[in-house]
Amino acid sequence: MLIREFRIEDYTRVVTLGKEARLVLRLGDELDDIKLKLQRDPDLFLISEGEHEIVGVVMGAWDGRRGWINHLAVKPAHLRRGIANALIDELEKRLTAKGARKVTAQVYQGNRNSLEFFKARGYEIHSDLIMIGKHLKN
């Protein structure tokens, strides 16, 4: 298994993987938005490749103060093979190198598998926090 940085030509395959993994794609995950993300911190958008196919992906971000995990997906046929752990290990290493002392993952409440995965890695659920957002018009 090879972990490498996302390239724009991976976009269609990554979206397909996300859909297979039942990842919730939102406004901001379109191609033009991903191009903007790559201008800021391309080293935090990682792909796991095996046998000439993309089998996992994690999109991390760095706001200059803390790290964020916005998307993590593994192809269903490749679950329980350590792919998600390898991706998060590499992302955490890269965030630490940037100076991050904390990383926060965004997980939907109903996504029990992801919640259990992150809890097993030492992430804490902050039940007193509520994520709020707003779509900005261009």
What does the pLDDT look like over 41-52, one tens digit per residue? Answer: 999 999 999 888
- Contact status, residue 92 vs residue 81, Cβ threshold 8 Å: no
In a domain, 127, yes or no: no
- What pLDDT sits at residue 108? 87
CATH code for position 93: 3.40.630.30
Nearest in space to 17 (alpha carbons), one of 61, 68, 78, 82 = 78
Looking up tokens 């916005």, which residue turns up? 70
Average pLDDT over residues 110-114: 91
Number of domains in the chain: 1
In a domain, 126, yes or no: no
In a domain, 25, yes or no: yes
In a domain, 132, yes or no: no
In a domain, 137, yes or no: no
Reported confidence tier of residue 15, pLDDT bands at 50, 70, 90: very high
- Residue 66, CB half-sphere, CA atoms under 13 Å: how many? 7
- What pLDDT sits at residue 51? 83
Q: How far apart are CA 119 and CA 105, in angstroms?
A: 11
In a domain, 138, yes or no: no
In a domain, 74, yes or no: yes
In a domain, 128, yes or no: no
Give pTM, 2 decimals. Answer: 0.92
Range of the domain at 48: 2-120
- What pLDDT sits at residue 110? 87
- Contact status, residue 56 vs residue 75, Cβ threshold 8 Å: yes
- What pLDDT sits at residue 52? 86
Residue of 135 and 122 predicted with greater confidence: 122
